C-alpha cells in the first residue's frame, strides 16, 4: 500500500508541476502574440512611411530636374519629354 500511496503522491506532484508549466506557457504565449501583433503594426507603419518618403523624394527629384540649371538642361528636356509621353499614354488609355 505504501508504494501505491507514494506513486499517487508523486503523480499529484508531477501533475501540479505540469499544470503550473502549462499556465506559465499560456501566459508567455499570450505575451508573445501581443508582441508579434505590435511589431507587425509597427512594420506596416514603417512600410507606409517609407512609401510616402519615396514618393516625396521622387516628386522632389522631378521638381529639381524641372527647375533645372544650366548644367542639367538636357536632363530637364528628357524628363519633360518622358512626362509628356506618359501623359499621352494615359490619354490613349482613357480614350479606349
Domain boundaries, the chain: 2-95
pLDDT of residue 72: 65
pLDDT of residue 2: 72
Residues present in the chain in total: 96
pLDDT in tens, 13-72: 999 999 999 999 999 999 999 999 999 999 999 999 999 999 999 888 877 766 655 556
CA atoms of 14 and 25, how far apart (whole Å): 16
Looking at residue 23, the DSSP 8-state letter turns out to be: H
Amino acid at each position: 500500500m505504501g508504494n501505491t500511496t507514494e506513486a499517487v503522491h508523486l503523480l499529484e506532484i508531477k501533475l501540479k508541476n505540469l499544470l503550473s508549466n502549462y499556465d506559465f506557457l499560456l501566459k508567455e504565449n499570450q505575451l508573445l502574440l501581443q508582441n508579434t501583433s505590435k511589431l507587425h503594426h509597427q512594420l506596416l507603419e514603417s512600410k507606409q512611411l517609407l512609401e510616402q518618403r519615396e514618393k516625396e523624394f521622387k516628386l522632389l527629384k522631378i521638381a529639381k530636374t524641372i527647375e533645372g540649371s544650366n548644367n542639367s538642361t538636357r536632363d530637364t528636356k528628357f524628363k519633360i519629354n518622358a512626362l509628356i509621353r506618359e501623359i499621352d499614354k494615359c490619354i490613349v488609355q482613357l480614350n479606349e
